[in-house]
Structure 1
């Protein structure tokens, strides 16, 4: 488990433990929606926001993803590196 995953794991355990898988998925979807709102505002499409709000929502989305990775004991760095490799081979 990398440093980021360990930090999330410690906090989640302090707060009572991991949610059920579909509860975590719902939280991820909620965070992606909030990221979309922040991006729309930042781009001037809907409201007005700043880069910090986009950064906050990206962090919240990553947190939700890391919770899912931790629950399933998946190394998130390994997962992203596999995806980069896949896209490089497919689209490169």
Structure 2
């Protein structure tokens, strides 16, 4: 069964893991490069599953879930290294999106009413 940690729990867990090592977090530029690498791996996996480029028989099995997990880990490392609360960042972003984009798309209720 999966543990349903809060974002704060995840950030704390990553901090505890990284703090075991003298090297600590990578520099921001290195983390950005690593994040970009992980995005590329996610893109490759999505392309294998949904695109026109099937996986070669010699390639290792992988999943979109695993790649998203890798991205999340790197994002948490980056946030921790910058003393950023991802929970607070998420709340600010959702507030902005819920305000800015509230009338941007057709709501399901409106679509159903127009079809009647």
TM-score, structure 1 as length reference: 0.86
Matched, 1:5 2:11: yes
Bigger Rg, structure 1 or 2: 2
**Alignment partner of 1:24: what SS?**
helix
Bigger share in helix: 1
Residue ranges of structure 2 left out of the alignment (5+ in a row): 1-6, 56-61, 103-116
Q: Over aligned residue pairs, what C-alpha RMSD do you find?
A: 1.6
Alignment partners' CA distance in 1, 2:18 and 2:99: 36
Where has structure 1 moved over 6 Å in runs of 4 or more? none
Aligned length: 89
